[in-house]
Amino acid sequence: MGAAEVSRRTVFGLVTTAALLGLPSPAHAAPLLTSIPVGRRPQAVAVNPVTGVCHVANTADRTVSVIDRGRTMAAVPAGGAPADLAVDERTGLVYVANRTPGTTAVLDGGRVTNVVASGPGPAALALDPDTYRLYVASGEAGAVRVLDLFGGALAATIEAPGRGFSSAAIDGRTGYFASLHTGTIEVLDLDTSRFTASIPVGDGPAGLAVHHGTGTVYVANSGIHHLSVVDGAQTRTILLRSEASSVAVHQATHTVYANGGPDGLVRIDGTRGEITGELALGINPGQVAVDQRTGAVHVTDPLHDRLHVITGF
């Protein structure tokens, strides 16, 4: 799922598959990191939860890197500047939101098989597996385009109350869209195609993830040092040591990861709502994703054109 580019920049040195320092609990051994070269200025990252194949959107060279078993297998031209990715675990298809020229590309087996016009500035994607529709949120306007994936065409445009969407997620029959410029999460009823609520969160919500077992929504706020937690009608915060722009959830363990640590990652026990570890990477991480099979955390490094895969954290 997509987010605003982070602004902090620091220089770092890391050794491939090196032991890292963190705050391990008894359940976590010392983390290990593998560093993989990708395209130029990687941001969005998505991992297929069935196969473990990872895709990375490289904004500067307009490609998508395909990574399997720790090796970069291909660099696929995206047909534009990729802003977000969505993976269909059943078919293996990957959808790429190209902010310019305003399209969504369909990747199958390392090649583009279809391109769908998606309105101005598509920036965030959310796949509805029940209806096989893809929701494409604009990063420039208050609008969400709905793509019919069976027909491969634009099915509808939904006017949205937010502005400048940065991330999106679906849980059941509800869609959540982070509105960067209004500091809100906009809630969409997928059955009626109507926005039903606007939830205030922190300044500059840039990343969003949902724990499907509880329906809890986690929001990374790029303008303030806390993570917003939306649980039904209640919203609370978890204080971080840095602003965050991306958040991901390991569904089986309800473990939350965000790039809101001091030049690294923070790990949160979602059940208790408490920070359980920090991992100093010496870099300003880009986007974060989790391999749902293994729990490995995938972090893009836009400054050094690499993907870091962290196990045991």
**What's the pLDDT score for residue 273?**
95
In the structure, what pLDDT confidence band is assigned to residue 29 with cuts at 50, 70 and 90? low
Domain borders along the chain are 18-311
- Predicted confidence (pLDDT) per residue in 244-298, tens digit: 999 999 999 999 999 998 889 999 999 999 999 999 998 889 999 999 999 999 9
CA distance 153 to 141: 20
Residue 233 burial by Cβ neighbours in a 10 Å radius (0-12, 13-18, 19+): exposed
**What's the pLDDT score for residue 170?**
98
- Predicted confidence (pLDDT) per residue in 183-210, tens digit: 999 999 999 999 999 999 999 999 999 9
CATH number of 18-311: 2.130.10.10
User: What is the DSSP secondary-structure string of 221-278?
Assistant: ETTSSEEEEEETTEEEEEE-SS--S-EEEETTTTEEEEEEETTEEEEEETTTTEEEEE
Share of the chain above pLDDT 70, in %: 91
- Give strand ranges (E) for 17-152: 18-19, 32-37, 42-47, 54-58, 63-68, 71-77, 81-87, 94-100, 103-108, 111-117, 122-128, 133-138, 143-148
- Predicted confidence (pLDDT) per residue in 71-114, tens digit: 999 999 999 999 999 999 999 999 999 999 999 999 998 899 99
Closest to 14 in 3D by CA, of 249, 312, 299: 299
